[in-house]
């Protein structure tokens, strides 16, 4: 993250923050002593953010004008929707909540799931399972297999659960921290969870759950006691995810659960979350 501005003027910071958000610039505000700090969360927006900040300094009323325009635009859209009995597309709303990697990976997961219902299923499994020909050796000669089981899902409930949480957690993570960080977190959590599950039970497993629990671990750490953070999770949701993890070990659930993958993903996610918090705090000094 990059620091854009420091001020003691809370009203000015609130107006500037709203103005940047309305213009699509991903920023967050933190408090350091009696100072408010404005941070850019995705470095590729730096030039755009600087230009908008300068425009705001030259004319602070630009924020109010932008706000009024947004309200009028929303009112016009609502009026048009009422007149035409049209409701906003759920798909368009969902797409705004995720980055391109989140959307692309979700699409590939769905395509693979559909492919498993065709005569191509045997070939797909052979290409994506961790190591279909060996119950003991790690697939060093085919390194993609450390990650590829995260593409496999074997029931509608399985894929719905994982894609939903991938979109919710992965999308917010990508929008806030950037695509590079999401790709790194995905790779680490996938490798950790898939390798651990292979050592525990052999090669016949699949699913994105290890990565989902990894993202859950990251969100639990970076958003802890910070309701303004995009990855903040309510206590009830944290309890649900942990209870589901524990239930998997009891054998009471009606589905087979890759418990080791879930746990390994969670642990790796917690470690990544701690690293992100450390790097964020270090970067602010």
Check whether residue 80 and residue 159 sit in a common domain: no
Where among 84, 106, 136 does a domain terminate?
84
If one compares 109 and 72, the residue with the highest pLDDT of the two is: 109
Note down the domain range covering 274.
Answer: 92-283
Alpha-carbon distances, residue 265 vs 19, 180, 192, 236 (angstroms): 38, 19, 6, 20
| Res 71: pLDDT | 45
The residues annotated with a catalytic role in the active site are: 209, 262
**Nearest one of 29, 21, 14 to 284, comparing CA atoms:** 29
Burial 236-262 (b: 16+ CB within 10 A, else e): eeeeebeeebeebeeeeeeeebbbbbb
What is the band of 32 on the pLDDT scale with cuts at 50, 70, 90? Answer: confident
Check whether residue 101 and residue 212 sit in a common domain: yes
Check whether residue 123 and residue 73 sit in a common domain: no
DSSP for 184-214?
A: HHHHHHHHHHHHHHHHHH-S----SHHHHHH
**Paired residues of 3 in beta bridges:** 39
The lowest-confidence range among 44-53, 78-87, 173-182, 272-281 is 78-87
If one compares 282 and 55, the residue with the highest pLDDT of the two is: 55
What is the band of 77 on the pLDDT scale with cuts at 50, 70, 90? Answer: very low
Where among 84, 114, 149 does a domain terminate?
84
Check whether residue 59 and residue 152 sit in a common domain: no
Q: What is the mean pLDDT of the chain?
A: 84
Express as a percent the part of the chain with pLDDT over 70. 85
Check whether residue 101 and residue 189 sit in a common domain: yes
If one compares 32 and 227, the residue with the highest pLDDT of the two is: 227
| Res 25: pLDDT | 80
Number of domains in the chain: 2
Q: What is the pLDDT of residues 206-249, one digit of tens each?
A: 999 999 999 999 999 999 888 888 898 999 999 999 998 998 88
Where among 38, 63, 84 does a domain terminate?
84
* CATH at 211: 1.20.1540.10
* CATH at 18: 3.30.70.1530
Alpha-carbon distances, residue 4 vs 13, 40, 173, 222, 276 (angstroms): 11, 7, 21, 21, 19
Check whether residue 150 and residue 275 sit in a common domain: yes
Check whether residue 226 and residue 130 sit in a common domain: yes
The lowest-confidence range among 6-20, 71-85, 122-136 is 71-85
Check whether residue 28 and residue 147 sit in a common domain: no
Check whether residue 230 and residue 103 sit in a common domain: yes
Per-residue pLDDT averaged across 159-188, rounded?
A: 94
Question: 20: how many CB neighbours lie within 10 A of its CB?
Answer: 24
| Res 88: pLDDT | 53
Per-residue pLDDT averaged across 141-163, rounded?
A: 94
Q: What is the pLDDT of residues 39-65, one digit of tens each?
A: 887 776 788 888 888 888 888 776 665
| Res 188: pLDDT | 98
Check whether residue 234 and residue 100 sit in a common domain: yes
What is the band of 145 on the pLDDT scale with cuts at 50, 70, 90? Answer: very high
Please determine, for residue 162, whether its predicted confidence score (pLDDT) is greater than 90: yes
Residue 282, both tokens: 């270090």
Check whether residue 164 and residue 31 sit in a common domain: no
Please determine, for residue 183, whether its predicted confidence score (pLDDT) is greater than 80: yes
Check whether residue 140 and residue 262 sit in a common domain: yes
Residue 178 gets which letter from DSSP? -
| 36, HSE (Cβ side, Cα atoms, 13 Å) | 15
| Res 254: pLDDT | 66
């Amino acid at each position: 993250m990059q620091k854009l501005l420091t001020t003691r003027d809370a009203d000015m910071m609130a107006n500037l923050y709203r103005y940047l958000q309305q213009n699509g610039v991903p920023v967050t505000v933190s408090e350091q002593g009696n100072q408010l700090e404005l941070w850019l969360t995705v470095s590729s927006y730096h030039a755009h953010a600087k230009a908008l900040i300068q425009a705001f300094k030259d004319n602070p009323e630009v924020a109010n004008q932008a706000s009024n325009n947004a309200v009028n635009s929303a009112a016009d859209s609502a009026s048009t929707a009422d007149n035409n009995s049209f409701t906003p597309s759920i798909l368009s709303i969902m797409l705004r909540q995720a980055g391109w990697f989140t959307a692309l990976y979700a699409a590939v997961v769905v395509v693979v799931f559909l492919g498993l219902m065709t005569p191509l299923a045997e070939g797909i499994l052979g290409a994506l399972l961790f190591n279909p020909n060996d119950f003991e050796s790690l697939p060093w000669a085919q390194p993609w297999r450390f990650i590829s089981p995260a593409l496999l899902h074997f029931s509608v409930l399985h894929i719905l659960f994982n894609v939903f949480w991938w979109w919710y957690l992965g999308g917010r993570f990508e929008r806030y921290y950037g695509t590079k960080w999401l790709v790194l977190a995905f790779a680490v959590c996938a490798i950790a969870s898939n390798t651990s599950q292979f050592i525990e039970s052999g090669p016949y497993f699949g699913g994105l759950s290890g990565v989902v629990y990894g993202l859950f671990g990251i969100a639990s750490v970076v958003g802890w006691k910070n309701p303004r953070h995009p990855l903040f999770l309510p206590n009830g949701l944290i309890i649900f995810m942990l209870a589901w993890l524990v239930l998997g070990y009891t054998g009471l659930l009606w589905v087979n659960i890759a418990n080791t993958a879930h746990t390994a993903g969670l642990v790796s996610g917690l470690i990544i979350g701690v690293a992100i918090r450390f790097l964020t705090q270090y970067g602010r000094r």
